């Protein structure tokens, strides 16, 4: 793989990572609710899901998924319903008020649950499969060993996404002081819950043909 090929992939990966999506919404939501340190578990889950999709695309299974209307529809439906479930759960999340009646207290999920939430958010995202299958082959040099190239591209994408998602979480967490009372936290939950449900609903309109566009 030439440096020119790698830097082109680097730029493309940066654009994709910065673009708003379910991962960005989840990182901001958890960053605002739990802080950057606790959101790291969520973000590592996102990266694990991203790498799973990367491996699927690299192994060629992603192409088979896109070729099957039934398989793609199943993945798409599961991903959409999961995001809608996450959004609805956050929308309905209960907020308890501390003794001061000013500070709201959130029940923080375990690190394992935050990790699993991040993993499932990316692992069930058909748009990620479409991107990998459509874009990844363009950066593979034919005639050169495949595995080293996939490892380089995977490491590049993972590092970029880690930085971007932590940046989203940090920006959101910097606003925590404005969301200390129960009313503000409820509004925050409904905003991010609504966004997650909207992203999930949008997945129903994802078409297999988008991969060849």
Distance CA 179, CA 144 (A): 53
DSSP secondary structure, 83-131, as one string: HHHHHHHHHT---EE-TTSS-EEPPPPPHHHHHHHHHHHHHT-HHHHHH
- Residue 94: half-sphere exposure toward Cβ, Cα within 13 Å: 2
The confidence band for 134, taking pLDDT boundaries of 50, 70 and 90, is low
Return the closest-CA partner of residue 187 out of 29, 66, 19, 20.
29
| Model confidence at 105: pLDDT above 90 | no
Please tell me the predicted confidence (pLDDT) of residue 207. Answer: 66
> Would you tell me how many other CB atoms lie within 10 Å of the CB of residue 143?
4
Element (H, E) at 105: strand 104-105
| CA angle (179, 168, 107) in 5-degree steps | 45
Residues 31/172, Cβ–Cβ less than 8 Å: yes
The confidence band for 16, taking pLDDT boundaries of 50, 70 and 90, is confident
Please state which of the ranges 9-13, 81-85, 128-132, 195-199 shows the lowest mean pLDDT: 128-132
* Percent of residues, the chain, with pLDDT higher than 70: 74
Please tell me the predicted confidence (pLDDT) of residue 89. Answer: 78
Average pLDDT over residues 81-91: 78
Please tell me the predicted confidence (pLDDT) of residue 103. Answer: 46
Average pLDDT over residues 108-130: 85
Instruction: Name the DSSP class of 104.
Output: E
Angle between helices 36-58 and 111-123 (to 10 degrees): 40
Residue 94 tokens read as 């209960």
Please tell me the predicted confidence (pLDDT) of residue 5. Answer: 84
Average pLDDT over residues 193-210: 71
The whole-chain average pLDDT of the chain stands at 78
| Model confidence at 208: pLDDT above 60 | no
* Sequence ranges of the domains in the chain: 3-207
Distance CA 204, CA 163 (A): 29
Please tell me the predicted confidence (pLDDT) of residue 95. Answer: 58
* Percent of residues, the chain, with pLDDT higher than 90: 20
Burial class (CB in 10 A: 0-12, 13-18, 19+), 34: buried
Average pLDDT over residues 58-68: 63
- pLDDT by residue (tens digit) across 163-200? 999 999 998 888 776 655 556 667 767 777 787 788 77
Return the closest-CA partner of residue 127 out of 29, 7, 213, 189.
213
């Amino acid at each position: 793989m030439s440096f020119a090929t790698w830097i082109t992939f680097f730029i493309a990966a940066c654009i994709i990572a910065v673009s708003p999506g379910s991962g960005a919404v989840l990182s901001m939501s958890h960053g605002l609710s739990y802080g950057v340190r606790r959101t790291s578990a969520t973000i590592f889950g996102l990266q694990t899901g991203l790498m799973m999709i990367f491996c699927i695309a690299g192994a060629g299974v992603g192409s088979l998924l896109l070729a099957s209307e039934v398989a793609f529809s199943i993945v798409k439906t599961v991903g959409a319903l999961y995001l809608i479930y996450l959004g609805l759960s956050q929308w309905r999340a209960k907020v308890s008020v501390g003794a001061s009646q000013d500070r709201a207290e959130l029940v923080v999920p375990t690190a394992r649950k935050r990790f699993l939430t991040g993993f499932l958010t990316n692992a069930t995202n058909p748009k990620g499969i479409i991107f990998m299958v459509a874009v990844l082959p363009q950066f593979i040099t034919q005639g050169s060993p495949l595995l080293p190239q996939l490892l380089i591209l995977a490491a590049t994408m993972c590092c970029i996404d880690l930085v971007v998602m932590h940046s989203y979480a940090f920006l959101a967490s910097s606003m925590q002081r404005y969301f200390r009372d129960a009313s503000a936290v409820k509004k925050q939950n409904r905003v991010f819950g609504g966004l997650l449900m909207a992203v999930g609903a949008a997945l129903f309109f994802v078409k297999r043909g988008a991969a060849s566009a």
